[in-house]
Amino acid sequence: MSNWAIAIHGGAGHWLRRNNAAGLIQARAGLRRALAAAATILAADGAALNAAIAAVRVLEDDPWFNSGIGAALTEAGTVEHDAGIMRGNDGAFGAVAGVRCLRSPIEAARRVLEDGRHVLLIGEGAEVFARAAGCDYADPALFITDQARADLQRWRKNQDPTVSKGTVGAVVRDNAGHLIAATSTGGLTGKRSGRVGDSPIPGGGTWADSRCAISSTGDGEIFLRTCFAHRVANAIATGVSSHSALNQGLAGIAKFNAMGGAILVPANGSPIWAVVNGDLARGVQIAGTAAKVAIGADEEFAD
């Protein structure tokens, strides 16, 4: 019996304020491509790990989202990626941070997870490991887009928070019941070189266990300070419903006047999502149903 499910996000932010109608159409098309990449694997009884990677890689390659091509720029005008992936059945976690020349940050995180020796590798050491493990190299200039340059210029003028586009992520349950959470990001526009956000930190922005898989996006420092994803998972472990746990977690984010959202796939049932103080580019699909996507905070899912 097919019981697979997937949710993806393309970042929390001021999507409706930042983008015109044509841009929003492009973003929704990217979300659909990511869902299709994962659903093809899951419908063929494939593994949640492979499906999550496939979805995130599509988003990394799409300049509308903040990871890979189109990633946010540091204050020096460079790209530094973070990515993390967690396997629910055994708690394995793999992550990279501050990488500049890896074609797919989430694929590098996967190699760290599968190697098993460490949880998080950073900078040049992460790049050397990932390339030895078979990950593709890319000229760092590949990731820098005109829009990212424009966003940095706006940030330099007045540190405009609306330039933020969040991050990308996927949470997946396969037919075997395995849960995976994967998150990849370019971080914050104008960040200091060497800044690491919540995406590659277990329990910050990314978490998976036997009950749920969570990927988060938004003001990463606040997600780190509140141990957001782990707090949500702990609430579920005590019997709180997934909806209530996610909303309680985001209420903690809102107390800091911060913005953010998250997606969650439970061990049983349909994916859920929530967001505070912004929009959330998102998509969901479960076995036997059509893919659905939305962007605005109050927008209904559309086939």
CATH code for the domain in which residue 282 is found: 3.60.20.30
Query: How far is residue 94 from each of residues 50, 100, 172, 264, measured CA to CA in Å?
Result: 14, 17, 16, 19
Q: Is residue 303 situated within a structural domain?
A: no
Question: Which neighbouring-strand residues pair with 133?
Answer: none
* Percent of the chain topping pLDDT 90: 90
The better pLDDT of the pair 302, 174 is held by: 174
**How far apart, in whole angstroms, are the C-alpha atoms of residue 248 and residue 225?**
15
> Which range (15-29, 55-69, 73-87, 130-144) has the least confidence?
15-29
pLDDT at 57 over 90: yes
Task: Please give the Cα distance from 244 to 236 (Å, whole number).
Answer: 9
Give the range of the structural domain holding residue 119, as residue numbers without chain letter: 5-294
Helices 228-237 and 242-254, packing angle to 10 deg: 150
Classify residue 42: in a domain, yes or no.
yes
Which candidate, 184, 217, 194, 192, places its Cα nearest to that of 68?
184
Mean pLDDT of 164-173: 90
Q: Do strands 81-87 and 5-13 pair parallel, antiparallel, or not at all (unpaired)?
A: unpaired
218: Cβ contacts below 8 Å, ≥ 6 apart: 12, 166, 253, 258, 259, 260, 261, 278
90 in a structural domain: yes
CB 183 within 8 A of CB 84: yes
Catalytic residue among 74, 167, 185, 206: 167
Dihedral sign (CA 266, 272, 275, 278): positive
User: Is residue 300 domain-resident?
Assistant: no
pLDDT tens-digit series, residues 224-271: 999 999 999 999 999 999 999 999 999 999 999 999 999 999 999 999
Residue 302 lies in a domain: no
The total number of structural domains that make up the chain: 1
Matching residue, tokens 């967690």: 86
pLDDT more than 70, % of the chain: 98
Q: What confidence tens digit (pLDDT) does each residue in 275-303 have?
A: 999 999 999 999 999 999 999 999 888 76
> What distance in Å separates the CA atoms of residue 217 and residue 282, rounded to the nearest whole number?
11
Which pLDDT band holds residue 1 (cuts at 50, 70, 90)? confident
In a domain, 299, yes or no: no
Q: Hey, is 300 helix, strand or coil?
A: coil
CB-based burial, 74-95: b 16+ in 10 Å, e otherwise: beeeebbbbbbbbbbeeebbbb
The model's pTM is: 0.96
Which residue is associated with the tokens 């009950």?
Answer: 211
**Rounded mean pLDDT, 16-41:** 92
Indicate if 167 belongs to the active site: yes
- Residue 36 included in any domain: yes
pLDDT at 162 (0 to 100): 65
Around Cβ 259, how many Cβ atoms within 10 Å?
24
Q: What is the mean pLDDT of residues 108-132?
A: 98
In a domain, 155, yes or no: yes
